[in-house]
Amino acid sequence: MTSDFNFQHPPFDQLDSSQRQLLLDQLDIHYFQNQEKILSAGQESQFLFVILKGEVEERADNNDEIFAHYTLDDCFDIRSQFGGYCKHDYVALEECLCFALPSKVFRQLAEVNSDFADYFQNDLATRHQLVESRERNKNLAEFILTTIDESNVQLAVVIDGDTSLYQATKMMREQKLESLLVDYDGCIGMLTGTDLLHAAVLTQQSLDTPVSQLANFNLISVEQGEFLFNAMLLMTRNNIERVVVKQQHKVVGIMEMAHLLSLFSTHSHVLALQIARADSIDELANAAHTLNRLIENLCNNGIRTLFIMKLLATMNEQLIERVFRLCVPEQHHNAICLIVMGSEGRGEQIVKTDQDNGLIIEDSYDWPEREQQLQAFSDALLKLGYPPCPGKIMVNNPAWVKSQSDWTSTLDSWVESGHGDAAMNMAIMFDAHAVAGNRSLLRKLKRHLIQAMHQREVALSFFARPALQFSTPLTFLGNVRNEGIDIKKGGIFPIVHGVRAMALEQGIEQTNTLERIEQLKQAKVIQPEHAANLSEALLLFFKLRIQQLSDKTESYHHIDVANLQRGQRDLLRHALHVVKKYKQSLAHHFQIRDY
Amino acid sequence: MLLRGLYRQLYSHQQRHSPYHYLYEPAPVGELVALDFETTSLKASEAEIVSIGAVKIVGKQILHSQRLDLKLRPGVRLGATSIKVHRLRHQDLQQGLPPQQGIEQLLEYIGPRPLVGYNIAYDFRILKRYAKQLLQLQLVNQLVDVGQLYADRVHLPHEGMPANQDLAHICDALQIPLSARHQAYDDALNAAMIYLRLQFGPRPSAA
Distance in angstroms (rounded) separating the CA atoms of residues A90 and A48: 12
- The count of other CB atoms within 10 Å of the CB of residue A270 is 15
Tell me what pLDDT residue B23 has: 85
Tell me the range of A238-242, A426-430, A560-564, B15-19 where mean pLDDT is highest. Answer: A426-430
Q: How confident is the model at residue A2 (pLDDT cuts 50, 70, 90)?
A: very low
Residue B155 gets which letter from DSSP?
B
Q: Tell me the per-residue pLDDT of A347-393, one tens digit each, with 9 for 90 and over.
A: 887 666 678 889 999 888 888 888 888 898 988 888 888 888 777 88
pLDDT at res. A549: 64
pLDDT band at A518 (very low <50, low <70, confident <90, very high): very high
Measured at the CA of A458, the angle between CA A454 and CA A462, to 5 degrees, comes to: 105
Distances (CA, A) of A53 to A9, A30, B176: 16, 11, 8
> How confident is the model over A103-136, as pLDDT tens digits?
888 888 888 887 787 777 665 566 666 555 555 5
**Any B CB within 8 A of A145 CB:** no
- All domains of chain B, ordered by start, with CATH? 2-146 (3.30.420.10)
The per-residue pLDDT for range A187-230, each reduced to its tens digit, is 888 888 888 888 888 888 888 888 888 888 888 888 888 777 67
How many cross-chain Cβ pairs, A to B, lie less than 8 Å apart?
55
End-to-end CA distance of chain A: 50
CATH of domain A268-453: 3.30.460.10
* pLDDT, position B167: 80
ipTM of the prediction: 0.75
CB A92 within 8 A of CB A34: yes
Is A481 within 8 Å of chain B by CB?
A: no
Q: Which helix (H) or strand (E) holds B133?
A: helix B120-135
* Alpha carbons B93 and B99: distance in angstroms, whole number: 11
A473 Cβ partners below 8 Å, 6+ apart?
A485, A486, A490, A576
Handedness of CA A165, A171, A177, A183 (dihedral sign): negative
Question: Does A46 reach chain B within 8 Å, measured CB to CB?
Answer: no
Does residue A363 belong to the interface with chain B, where contact is any CB pair within 8 Å? Answer: no
Contact between B202 and A100 using a beta-carbon 8 Å cutoff: no
Q: Quick check: A29 and B61 CB within 8 A? A: yes
Across the interface, of A1, A30, A102, the residue whose CB is closest to B189 is A1
* A50 three-class SS: strand
3-state secondary structure of A524: coil
Tell me the per-residue pLDDT of A431-490, one tens digit each, with 9 for 90 and over: 999 988 888 899 999 889 888 888 788 888 888 888 888 776 665 444 333 456 777 888
Residue A312 above 80 pLDDT? no
pLDDT at B2 over 70: no
pLDDT average, residue stretch A96-109? 88
Q: Which of A4, A30, A53 is facing B61, going by the closest CB pair?
A: A30
Dihedrals phi, psi of A216, to nearest 5 degrees = -100, 115
Q: Judge whether residue B55 has pLDDT over 60.
A: yes
Report the residue from A25, A32, A34 with minimal CB separation from B65: A25
Q: How far apart (Å, rounded) are the C-alpha atoms in residues A72 and A94?
A: 12
Q: Exposed/middle/buried for A226, CB within 10 Å: 0-12, 13-18, 19+? A: middle
Largest CA distance in chain B: 54
- Tell me the nearest-neighbour CA distance from A10 into chain B, angstroms: 21
The answer to whether the CB atoms of A30 and B201 lie below 8 A apart is no
Collect all residues of chain A within an 8 Å Cβ-Cβ radius of residue B202.
Answer: 34, 95
Chain A residues in contact with B65 (beta carbon < 8 A): 25-28, 102
| Long-range own/partner contacts, residues B179-182 (CB < 8 A, 24 or more apart) | B179/A1, B179/A3, B179/A4, B180/A3, B182/B38, B182/B85, B182/B86, B182/B87
pLDDT tens digits for range A59-93: 877 766 677 778 878 888 887 877 678 888 898 88
Q: Which residues of B touch A1 (CB under 8 A)?
A: 64, 179, 185-186, 189
Question: C-alpha distances in angstroms, A492 versus A108, A489, A537, A553, A594?
Answer: 39, 6, 9, 19, 22
With b for 16 or more beta-carbon neighbours within 10 A and e for fewer, the A441-473 pattern comes to bbeebbebbbebbeeeeebbbbbbbbbbebebb
Average confidence (pLDDT) over B44-69: 90
Q: Which of A464, A488, A489 is nearest to A589 (CA)?
A: A464
- Chain B residues whose CB is inside 8 A of the A30 CB are 60-62
CA proximity to B34, closest of B72, B64, B7: B64
Report how far residue B74's alpha carbon sits from residue A18's, in angstroms, rounded to the nearest whole number: 30
Contact status of A30 with chain B (Cβ, < 8 Å) = yes
Q: By the CB < 8 Å criterion, does A364 face chain B?
A: no
**Beta pairing partners, A92:** A56
**Cβ-Cβ contacts under 8 Å, A100 against chain B:** 61
**Dihedral over alpha carbons A401, A405, A409, A410 (to 10 degrees):** 10
Mean pLDDT of A323-331: 87
For A1, which of B186, B197, B201 is closest by C-beta distance? B186
What are A568-580's pLDDT values in tens digits? 777 888 888 888 8
B27, B113 in Cβ contact below 8 A?
Answer: yes
Residues comprising chain B, all counted: 207
B71 against A305, higher pLDDT: B71
Record: contact A28-B180, CB cut-off 8 A: no
Tally of CA atoms within 13 A in the half-sphere of A366 that contains its CB: 0
* pLDDT digit string, tens, across residues B84-135: 656 666 666 667 888 888 999 999 999 999 999 998 999 999 999 999 988 8
Q: Which fold has domain A12-121?
A: Jelly Rolls (2.60.120)
Residue A11, preceding peptide bond in cis (omega within 30° of 0) = yes
* CB pair distance less than 8 Å for A3 and B193: no
- CB contact under 8 Å between B64 and A30, yes or no, is no
Range in A21-30, A44-53, A417-426, B90-99 the model is least confident about: B90-99
CATH class of A158-265: alpha beta
In this prediction, residue B90 carries a pLDDT of 63
3-state class (DSSP) for residue B43: coil
**CB under 8 Å to A233, separation ≥6 — which residues?**
none
**Percent of chain B whose pLDDT exceeds 70:** 83
- Assess A52–B contact: CB distance below 8 Å, yes or no: yes
| B193–A29 C-beta distance less than 8 A | yes
Which pLDDT does position A473 carry in this prediction? 64
pLDDT at A301 over 70: no
Q: Kindly tell me the burial class for residue A101, based on how many C-beta atoms sit within 10 Å of its own C-beta (0-12, 13-18, 19 or more).
A: buried
The domain A464-589: what is its CATH number? 1.20.120
Q: Between chains, do B64 and A27 touch, taking CB under 8 Å as contact? A: yes
Sequence-distant (6+) residues with CB within 8 A of A48 are A75, A76, A77, A78, A81, A100, A101, A103, A106
Query: pLDDT band at A269, cuts 50/70/90?
Result: low
Helix (H) / strand (E) element for A432: namely none
Query: Chain A residue closest to B174 (CA)?
Result: A95
Computed on alpha carbons and rounded to an integer, the radius of gyration of chain A in Å comes to: 30
Facing residue for B60 by CB, picked from A30, A34, A52: A30
Extents of the domains making up chain A: 12-121, 158-265, 268-453, 464-589
Rounded Cα distance between B164 and B25, Å, is 36
Cis peptide leading into residue A89 (ω within 30°): no
Q: In whole angstroms, give the CA distance from residue A212 to residue A210.
A: 5
Mutation for testing the B interface, residue in A31, A73, A105 having most B CBs under 10 Å: A31
Is A34 in Cβ contact with B197 (below 8 Å)? no
| Percentage of chain A exceeding pLDDT 90 | 7
Closest CA to A272 of A307, A311, A306: A311
Contact B73, B48 (CB under 8 A): no
CA distance B61 to B199: 12
Q: What is the pLDDT of residue A280?
A: 82
Q: What is the mean pLDDT of chain A?
A: 80
Contact status of A529 with chain B (Cβ, < 8 Å): no
Chain B residues in contact with A25 (beta carbon < 8 A): 65
Report which of residues A60 and A394 the model is more confident about: A394
Taking an 8 Å cut-off on Cβ atoms, the answer to whether B61 and A4 are in contact is no
Residues A532-577 have pLDDT tens digits of 889 888 988 888 877 766 555 455 567 777 667 767 777 888 888 8
Banded pLDDT at A138 (limits 50, 70, 90): very low
Q: Which of A29-33, A69-73, A95-99, A157-161 has the lowest mean pLDDT?
A: A69-73
Min CA distance, A27 vs chain B (Å)?
Answer: 5
If you ran DSSP here, which 8-state letter would residue A142 be given?
Answer: H
Cβ-contact A318, A274 below 8 angstroms: no
- Asked if A255 and A231 count as a contact pair (C-beta separation under 8 A), the reply is yes
B140 CA: distance to closest CA in chain A (Å): 28
Interchain contact, A95 vs B179, CB within 8 Å: no
d(CA A455, CA A279): 49
Taking an 8 Å cut-off on Cβ atoms, the answer to whether A33 and B200 are in contact is yes
Q: What is the pLDDT of residues A490-499, one digit of tens each?
A: 888 999 999 9
What is the per-residue pLDDT for A141?
Answer: 43
Q: How far apart are CA A502 and CA A516, in angstroms?
A: 9
User: Which of A155-159, B50-54, B82-86 is most confident?
Assistant: B50-54
**Nearest-by-Cβ selection for B185 from A1, A28, A33:** A1
